[in-house]
C-alpha cells in the first residue's frame, strides 16, 4: 500500500472483507503472513463470510455501469418536454377511483411487475394502507388542475427512495412524464422525508431522513420509461433481474 490506500485498506478490514498483512512500513515476517493466509485457505466457512462481506462493500458492477452510461450518452437519451408545469399533491382516499382506473389500464399493467387487474375492494384496502405508511409517499400530479398521473415513492433504507410513475391514459403522448417525475423529486426533497423508525412503537413520531438517492426499476422492454429516467439524470445501477427489471439511480 501507499498512504492514500490506507483508508480503503482499513475499511475492508473493518468490514471483514480482507485479511490484513500490514503496510509496507510494517515489518511482517514471512511465517506470520503464511500462517494468516493458510488460515483463510483452509477455512471454507471463513472464506464464505469474507466473500459475503466483500459483496456488501463492492458489487463488481462498476465496469457495467460505466459502459452502460457511455452507451446511453451515445444514444442521446433526452426527456420530452411537457405541455405545462406539473404540480403534485399528496393523494387522498378521494382519489381512489381515479387511481384504480389508472392502475388497471392495460398499458400500465403491461409494464408493471403484476399484470393482473386489481378489484376495487383490494385497491381501496391497498390505498388506505399506503396512505398510513411512513415509508411510502403517494402523490397525484396535475396540470392546470387536471390530474395527469401519479408518483409513488417507497423508502428502501439509508435515504434511498424508489419511484413508480403512472401517466394517466388520456395524458400519454403529451410529454408530461418528465415534469411529473421532476415535480415528484422536488416534493420528496422538500418534505425532508419523515421515516418511521422500525424500532419505534406504532403511532410514533418517526425520524427525519434526507434523500440520499432516487431509484427506479424499469423493464428492459419499456423503452419510453428507460428514455425518461436516462434523460432525467438517472444512471444504470443494477442489470436486469430475473423479471427483466433494470435499476437506475440518481444522486
Instruction: Of 53-57, 158-162, 204-208, give the lowest mean pLDDT range.
Output: 204-208
Is residue 216 within 8 A of residue 247, CB to CB? The reply is yes
pLDDT digits (tens, 9 = 90+) for 142-200: 999 999 999 999 999 889 999 999 999 999 988 899 999 999 999 999 985 444 444 44
Question: Distance between CA atoms of 48 and 26, rounded to whole angstroms?
Answer: 28
For 166-216, give the DSSP string. EE-GGGTTSS-HHHHHHHHHHHHHHHT-EE--TTSPTT---EE----EEEE
Residues 26 and 116 in one domain: no
SS3 94: helix
pLDDT score, position 204: 41
> Are 38 and 105 found together in one domain?
no
SS3 127: helix
User: Is this structure's pTM higher than 0.85?
Assistant: no
Given a cut of 60, whether residue 49 has pLDDT beyond it is yes
Residues 220 and 177 in one domain: yes
Domain shared by 45 and 98, yes or no: no
Helix, strand, coil share (%) of the chain residues, nearest 5: 45, 20, 35
**In terms of residue numbers, what domain contains 10?**
3-57
**More confident site: 132 or 116:** 132
Predicted confidence (pLDDT) at residue 57 exceeds the cutoff of 90: no
The Cα 176–Cα 144 span in angstroms is: 12
What is the pLDDT at residue 203? Answer: 42
Whether residue 149 sits in one domain with residue 67: yes
- For residue 131, pLDDT over 90 is answered with yes
Contact 250, 213 (CB under 8 A): yes
Same domain, 174 and 205: yes
At 63-120, the pLDDT tens digits run: 998 898 888 777 776 555 555 699 999 999 999 999 999 999 998 888 888 888 999 9
Could you give the CA distance from residue 102 to residue 117 in angstroms, rounded to a whole number? 11
Q: Which residues pair with 164 in a beta bridge?
A: 152
For the cut 80, the answer to whether the pLDDT of residue 223 exceeds it is: yes
Residues 6 or more apart from 19 whose CB is under 8 A from it?
Answer: 36, 37, 39, 40, 50
Rounded distance, CA 153 to CA 139, Å? 8
Are both 43 and 80 inside the same structural domain?
no
Give dist(CA 217, CA 24) in Å, integer: 44
Whether 115 and 70 share a structural domain: yes
What's the mean pLDDT when you consider all of the chain? 87
Are 189 and 209 part of one and the same domain? Answer: yes
Same domain, 147 and 104: yes
pLDDT at 195: 47
| Spatial distance between the Cα atoms of 38 and 35, rounded to a whole number of angstroms | 5
Domain count, the chain: 2
Whichever domain contains 74, its CATH number is 3.40.630.30
What confidence score (pLDDT) does residue 60 get? 84
Amino acid at each position: 500500500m501507499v498512504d492514500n490506500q490506507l483508508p480503503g485498506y482499513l475499511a475492508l478490514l473493518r468490514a471483514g472483507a480482507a485479511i490484513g498483512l500490514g503496510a509496507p512500513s510494517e515489518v511482517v515476517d514471512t511465517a506470520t503472513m503464511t500462517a494468516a493466509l493458510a488460515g483463510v485457505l483452509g477455512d471454507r466457512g471463513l472464506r464464505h463470510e469474507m466473500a459475503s462481506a466483500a459483496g456488501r462493500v463492492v458489487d463488481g458492477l462498476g465496469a457495467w455501469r460505466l459502459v452502460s452510461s457511455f452507451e446511453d450518452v451515445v444514444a442521446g437519451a433526452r426527456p420530452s418536454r411537457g405541455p405545462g408545469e406539473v404540480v403534485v399533491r399528496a393523494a387522498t382516499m378521494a382519489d381512489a377511483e381515479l387511481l384504480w382506473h389508472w392502475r388497471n389500464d392495460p398499458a400500465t399493467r403491461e409494464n408493471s411487475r403484476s399484470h393482473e387487474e386489481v378489484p376495487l375492494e383490494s385497491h381501496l384496502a391497498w390505498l388506505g394502507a399506503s396512505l398510513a405508511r411512513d415509508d411510502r409517499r403517494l402523490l397525484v400530479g396535475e396540470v392546470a388542475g387536471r390530474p395527469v398521473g401519479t408518483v409513488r415513492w417507497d423508502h428502501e433504507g439509508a435515504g434511498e427512495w424508489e419511484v413508480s410513475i403512472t401517466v394517466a391514459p388520456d395524458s400519454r403522448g403529451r410529454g408530461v412524464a418528465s415534469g411529473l417525475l421532476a415535480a415528484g423529486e422536488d416534493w420528496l426533497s422538500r418534505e425532508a422525508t419523515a421515516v418511521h423508525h422500525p424500532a419505534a412503537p406504532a403511532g410514533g413520531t418517526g425520524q427525519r431522513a434526507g434523500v440520499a438517492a432516487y431509484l427506479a426499476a424499469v423493464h428492459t422492454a419499456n423503452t419510453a420509461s428507460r428514455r425518461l429516467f436516462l434523460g432525467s439524470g438517472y444512471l444504470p445501477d443494477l442489470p436486469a433481474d430475473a423479471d427483466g427489471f433494470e435499476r437506475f439511480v440518481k444522486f
